[in-house]
Amino acid sequence: MDAVAEIKSRLPIDQLVSRYVKLKKAGRYFKGLCPFHQERTPSFVVSPEKEMAYCFGCRKGGDHFTFVQELEGLEFKDALKFLADIANVTLPEQNTHLQQERRSERDRLYELHEEAARFFTEQLAVSPQTRGAAAHARTYIEQRELDPETVRFARLGYAPGEARGHSDELYKHLLNSGFSKDEIITSGLAFPLDATGGSTCRDRFRDRLIFPIRDAQGRVCAFGARALEDGDEPKYLNSPESPIFHKGSVLYGFGEARNDIRESKSAILAEGYMDVLAIRQAGITNVVATCGTACTEEHLRQLKRTAQKLILAFDKDSAGRNAAKRTIELGLATEMPMTVANWPGDVKDPDECLKKDPDAFLTAIEKSTPAQIFIFNWLEESFDLQDSVQRATALKEILPLLTAIKSTIERDTWIQRGAASLQVSPSSLYDELKRHLGKQRMPLQQRPAIQEENRQNGLSEEEYLLGLLLTYKELSSIANHIVDETFFRDNELQDIYRSLASEYNPILEDSAQKKAEMLVLFIETMNTGLSWEELQGELKRTLRRMIQNRFTRQKRELVTKMKRVSPEEKNQLLEQYTSLINEETEALRSDTLL
């Protein structure tokens, strides 16, 4: 038995998924809220028999490996190691020479970043060439009161600068280490000095303290760099985006903090690298930060997979409060519960709080303010709500947050609290919200209920029909006088239908085979418990919708043509239009349909 098969046999897929999702038994299946996107009605299905977990809302999932790759952001080989550890399976030794021959661009970039991290660390710690040059970097570390263990843990380093007698040392080192100029430029650690990409390149980071940024698997994928001299701007400079670094999805410290976040069920989001290290040094290890960018929905989705609550540990200044407000708005949209740490007295940030009074820091975290209270306190402090002009400005600030809230009940509590702050009636604030929404998404209670017969839940008409035919062969046999491959405009769906209709059952491509399995899984779970008569009704309604849609498309095409032709040609098209109406009526007759 190979490693993949052994992992699947030892680790049932429902046990694996249960590590991330609360599952509920539904016949032969399990259902739960999707871990890949926000939803209120479960569309995520796990089939122990088929060894599949799939969401029919966002179309993500698959077998053990696809599920983990999607959720943890892993490549296959890393997912293999990840699952082998969980299932207690020993992987066979790999052919190192073969691995070296097959290294991808991403593998090379990870190796390049690892080599760069070693270089930076050596410059800070032991390099005789730059020991004097790095002295001010070590002085800065001492001033920030980072102990040697924290420096080692974070793998802090130093980038030499030409002002101190060193020119583009990293670029030269990476070339000597076997990396090409193109690879170095792709990494963003150096850039050509002229637009033509001439032979000379310049180190991106010069005379700076270096913070290696690691991805969720602990691999160095980028760097943050802090200036050490006054006036050297920007104060923080980060790696540009690359094939292995996307700042909108990478969190500094997440790989190291993930298990602690999962155990504590909460995560602390700080503003910067130094805050993360100071907080970790104090023994609080469920802390992360963004990498030189504002918090994104992807950051929050990543955190929500392991945390039930996010605590914002931002600076107390106006920039920090505005950042908290923006993050709370994203949290409302992604339904991530949030609180905000309030530093005591004149303390301005978490690092200062830790230095002055570590116990006060713990209190600020433990008694952090719920997002709603923080927002309305901020509103009342920022605006003179007695003044009609400022009150109108405050209203504009609060409406996007109210719009982002998905829960009707939670939105009502925000409206009640907002009305009190703005000194208006809740109904007035609700009217303003409806005006703001316009024709956008309306509150949940005003949305039309899903009709009982509409069981597609995100599938196209074509996919739903094909799923019915694949799952219930009896339906296929009674529909074959109506359905043919022209019912399916998608090439892959046509291939699947041809395989179904052919007595030889030709082998499908992997992607088409997976699609067919997903459609069967969906139909089985959505139509569990339906009688034969009800299944026939499903088929009949689906065929009716598809036939109507097909004739509607044809009639629209004719109407479009009529606008561009001569009167004689228009009369011919009108005859075709009348003929289509008659054909549609005949096709939809109950005795003809099935």
Helices 64-72 and 3-10: crossing angle in degrees, nearest 10, is 90
The tokens describing 498, both together, are 């041809």
The tokens describing 490, both together, are 């998608």
What contacts 543, CB < 8 A, 6 or more positions away? 465, 479, 482, 483, 593, 594
Give the model's pLDDT for residue 448.
32
Give the model's pLDDT for residue 506.
61
Give per-10-residue mean pLDDT for the chain (594 aa). Answer: 85 92 86 82 86 83 87 82 88 57 76 97 74 85 96 96 74 95 95 71 95 93 94 92 91 94 93 96 97 90 89 95 94 92 95 95 96 95 93 93 88 93 92 78 37 53 87 83 83 85 67 81 76 86 86 87 85 87 80 58
Give the model's pLDDT for residue 360.
96
The tokens describing 488, both together, are 């399916």
Give the model's pLDDT for residue 439.
41
Tell me the CA distances in angstroms from 3 to 65, 302, 371, one per residue in order.
12, 28, 47
User: 269: number of CA atoms within 13 Å, CB side?
Assistant: 29
Give the model's pLDDT for residue 99.
47
| Number of helical (H) and strand (E) elements in the chain, helices listed first | 27, 17
- Sequence letter at residue 167: S
Report if pTM > 0.85: no
The tokens describing 200, both together, are 């000379």
